[in-house]
Structure 1
């Protein structure tokens, strides 16, 4: 019994260690460029903080910019691969008044753009499947608290930024005029209405349809 408990403890500590070592894109430095609202451009290593709408540049020293004095910035994300672009746009997060905040631009066309803001969410996972740990009535149900990358999505249309509710009906309300084509495109490619990569493909397809 002691040996089994020791083995399970090692498994648990190993899982916690692996989970704790995960790094999110906002926690590391990326190669990139910052374009100031005054026309100045900066290149170097960049770290961003969307919660506080800050972006930092590390070259000879570390310089911190706010969304108020940055037009846009771009990074090369080695975790997910590819260039990611962020723009400073006026928006009211709390329903009070509009202030410049950072949005990542996923795809854009003449009619509509898909934007997003990432955040780190709490993720509770059950440990009940790990042998005796899940069955011991003294401990009760076991959970491991971790974190995951999550996103809020927005559509920029008719000069306004509107938060997307992740409801399929609302998606079609934004992407008007091509309901049948989009529905077929989603079913043919097995795309979901609430996943980052799928939303990007759907919106990009809609913008292509509007070119014709």
Structure 2
């Protein structure tokens, strides 16, 4: 578990470095990977994903598009960032009306709880000044140059239910209620926040470890 945790943290640091170098977000790039469909077929090639529309494209002798309803999971390998990222198609209601399959990236998983996320690109004008534009770092939070940032919605899969996380500390401790005191102490000792991607990964991994 600790090895997986450290591997994912290093992956996120590498993603940050890659973004700073080429100015592209992961969803705007083609990655080597594979798709597993609901009928058990596995397709390999280069992939590009679109979480907003829940689509993944396969480039291999042409381009083929798959919707989340026809996919079990897909994996990509970021050659620039040096890590495998896994996305699952899971039933969830984004609008509050009815559940449909959508894509979630798995950040860390265990026997008790799974941390999921969905990334999106948004604008951030808070650092715009007369010298150079600055936006929030897409992974950890400190500023970096550019007009856009990578933001995340986080979800917890627990007891076979997906719960969207509002990124408030009280809600996090409520979700991890049976070990909330230990989790809060772990956060204080390691100076972890309740709303940063890398910190949430460590907190969730720790909860699964002590649970």
Which TM-score tier does this pair reach, normalised by the shorter chain?
0.7 to 0.9
Larger radius of gyration: 1
The C-alpha deviation readout for 1:10-45, integer Å capped at 9, x for no partner, is xxxxxxxxx9x6110000000111001100001110
8 Å contact kept, 1:25–1:79: no
Q: CA deviation at 1:126?
A: 4.5
The C-alpha deviation readout for 1:28-76, integer Å capped at 9, x for no partner, is 0001110011000011100000000000111111110000000000111
Distance 1:207 1:169 in 2: 19
Cross-structure match for 2:150: 149
Task: Between the two structures, name the one with larger relative contact order (CA 8 Å, sep ≥ 6).
Answer: 2
Q: Does 1:41 align with 2:42?
A: yes
Q: CA deviation at 1:127?
A: 4.2
Cross-structure match for 1:183: 184
8 Å contact kept, 1:122–1:145: no
Distance 1:79 1:161 in 2: 31
Aligned residues: 180
The C-alpha deviation readout for 1:68-120, integer Å capped at 9, x for no partner, is 00000011124543111000000010111110000001111111111000000
Q: Does 1:164 align with 2:149?
A: no
Q: CA deviation at 1:125?
A: 4.2
SS at match of 2:178: coil
TM-score (norm 1): 0.80
Q: 1:28-107 residue pairs with structure 2 within 5 A?
A: 28-107=29-108
Cross-structure match for 2:194: 193
Distance 2:186 2:100 in 1: 37
The C-alpha deviation readout for 1:141-171, integer Å capped at 9, x for no partner, is xxx9811100000011111111001000000
Distance 1:81 1:175 in 2: 31
The structure 1 segments of at least 4 consecutive aligned residues displaced by more than 6 Å after TM superposition are none
What do you get for the CA RMSD once the two structures are aligned? 2.0
SS at match of 2:151: strand
Distance 2:76 2:129 in 1: 40
| Change beyond 3 A, Cα 1:167–1:27 | same
Distance 1:152 1:127 in 2: 24
SS at match of 2:147: strand
TM-score (norm 2): 0.80
Cross-structure match for 1:22: 23
